[in-house]
Structure 1
Amino acid sequence: MEGDSTNLDAAIESLLNVEKQMRLAGDVAGTRKAVIDIVELCYKAGAWKTLNDQIVLLSKRRGQLKQAITAMVQKAMDYIDLTPDIDTRVELIKTLSSVSAGKIYVEIERARLIKRLANIKEEQGKIDEAADLMQEVAVETFGSMAKTEKIAFILEQVRLCLDRQDYVRAQILSRKISTRVFDADP
């Protein structure tokens, strides 16, 4: 086992050097590939803690390219359902959510992550936490998100508010959706 972690660390280290060279050269495709390779390497080794650490490290790199961060977040999101247990899953979602916070180019991914985390909290019976998580995302301002996805997200926010009997907030949220949307044929 010790040999595996040493090999993983060495492979990550060499990929980090490649990523740095590509990033400093402004090579979008090369940087994206290096970042994705690091994420894949951690996943294949089953090193979830290392995966979380690398995601944070790569996102904080000076002058990191937006396309690389977007690709990294999207790739890591593919692995959420493949995590071995619920704690690992929650940790990965929280890591990706913190990395994507405040970045417009990954706002849709962040909204989807928050929704998944809220679903997990709701399954655990923590309705208040789930509702609070959903409230922090203002999807109505997202220009790049599909209208149907926005509406589904807002309806989910309304449902969680009703579940915790917060009728005032539910009514405020429900006004964000035009009733004409429901009249139109899909």
Structure 2
Amino acid sequence: MPAPEFRVWDGDEMIYVNDSAVWSLKIEDSSDWTLHRKTRLHCRESPDTSLMQHIGLADAEGKQIFDGDILQDGDGAVAMVRWASDAGGYVLLRENGNPVGLTEDNIQNGPWRVAGNLHETPNRIDPDLSRLLNRLREYTGEVECPMCGGTEFEAGGTPEDRQGPIAVHCVRCHHVMLFHDDVLR
């Protein structure tokens, strides 16, 4: 059985740990982790960093898929790879918030291709997300992620493509929240 592969977002760049003898990753039983460059601490688990594991699948072009990758299918639909504890595995979280199971067949038949990831893909200002956050702030003040307390959020899809609830994820911990568009009215 091959060793699991990891990559780390250190806050500035993506580091593929298994690609180099320079990097060493230590993961504790508590799930805390540290990344060392040679013998010096490079980064550790924090709100600004992220540890992502290869999910054991490749996209239609053979590129490895990691947690946090954004995939696009042949029709231009976009989905994000996320761990779903209720499903017991990784899923593609579609723009409308619906999860799709990740199998080699549905990746190849999509065909789904890696189009970016949570950290390196430039963020677009989403008018629906901005309106949603402004509306929530009217009632609660600053909007915080219920999991980590983060205050920066992103939404999937574009307003033109969006149907159903808006899937909003915390930039810091990637917790996903779903909001129905009637909140925007």
TM-score by length of 2: 0.25
Greater C-alpha radius of gyration:
1
Question: Higher RCO, 1 or 2 (CA under 8 Å, sep at least 6)?
Answer: 2
TM-score by length of 1: 0.25
Higher helix share: 1
Higher strand share: 2
